[in-house]
Amino acid sequence: MLNSANRLKLRDRLYLSGIDGKAFDIALSEGFGFEMSVFCWAPKMEDGKALAEARRQAASGVPLWFHAPFAELIPCSVDPLARELTHKRLLQAMELSLSLGIKRIVMHGGFIPQVYYPEWYVEQSIGFWKNFLRHVPEDVIIALENVMEPGPQLLADIADGIDDPRIGLCFDAGHANSNVSSIPPLEWIDVLKHRLVHVHLHNNMGDKDLHAPLGEGIIPMEAVLDRLLESEVTFTVENQDCIASLKWLEEKAYI
């Protein structure tokens, strides 16, 4: 267990997700970072109102992560045209992120159980991301996030196979604790930690992906946080209402 002095280090690494419509204003007033999530739905990248708001947020000076779109975007897709669409949309997202001055981007690996064999997922993902990196500046970090992967080894193998500092991993604790995974979150951390750059924090009861507050679920969140605070990763609270999680973090002396 970390002492309270070490726990305070979380504040400088804490971001709030835009899935909470109040998160940016809270981040701005309380000194947290902000993970821009409005463009998780790709058509928003052509929405003038969304783009204007993103530019306003980027000009605020708040530290930012950018969450790229993911729906129907599969880097390991069997269909070359589907893979071409994925490349196009993710490249568009990166270019938008860079235009906003954001060089840290979360992207999904795209694994779907019972659709893609794990071996195919690893092999084809390595090829996709190596090709994609030809367009990525040297000072950009792309963090691949676990969603429906059954365990941590797939993403670890992808990142190791790419072996490029521009590709890291985003560990989503709630996804790792849902019914797609039989491996506990702390074991995910042990496997991924050498490639981790970012973490998504939310809780659940071990079945559905609820994105519940940190204190409402069965994930041993203090143990997860204490293990992760040993590294230099950043953290995003990913709740539709982040206030309860911020109160929990304050009560536990993390912020």
SS (H, E, C) 67-126: ECCCCCCCCCCCCHHHHHHHHHHHHHHHHHHHHCCCCEEEEECCCCCCCCCHHHHHHHHH
The rounded distance, in Å, linking the Cα atoms of 241 and 20 is 5
* Mean pLDDT, range 123-145, rounded to an integer: 98
- How far is it, in rounded angstroms, from Cα 75 to Cα 72? 10
Longest dimension (CA), the chain: 52
Residue 235 CA to residue 12 CA, distance in Å, equals 10
Mean pLDDT of the chain: 96
What percent of the chain is modeled with pLDDT above 70? 97
Q: pLDDT tens digits for 81-92?
A: 999 999 999 999
- For 14-73, how does the pLDDT look when each residue is reduced to its tens digit (9 = 90+)? 999 999 999 999 999 999 999 999 999 999 999 999 999 999 999 999 999 999 999 999
Instruction: Reply yes or no on whether the pLDDT at 7 is more than 70.
Output: no
Taking alpha carbons only, the member of 15, 19, 11 closest to residue 239 is 19
Question: What domains can you pick out in the chain, each with its CATH number?
Answer: 4-251 (3.20.20.150)
- pLDDT tens-place string over residues 225-247: 999 999 999 999 999 999 999 99
Provide mean pLDDT across the span 132-156: 98
What pLDDT shows up at residue 20? 98
pLDDT score recorded for residue 5 = 57
Residue-level pLDDT at 6: 57
Tens-place pLDDT, residues 168-212: 999 999 999 999 998 999 999 999 999 999 999 999 999 999 999
State residue 7 phi and psi, 5-degree precision.
-60, -30
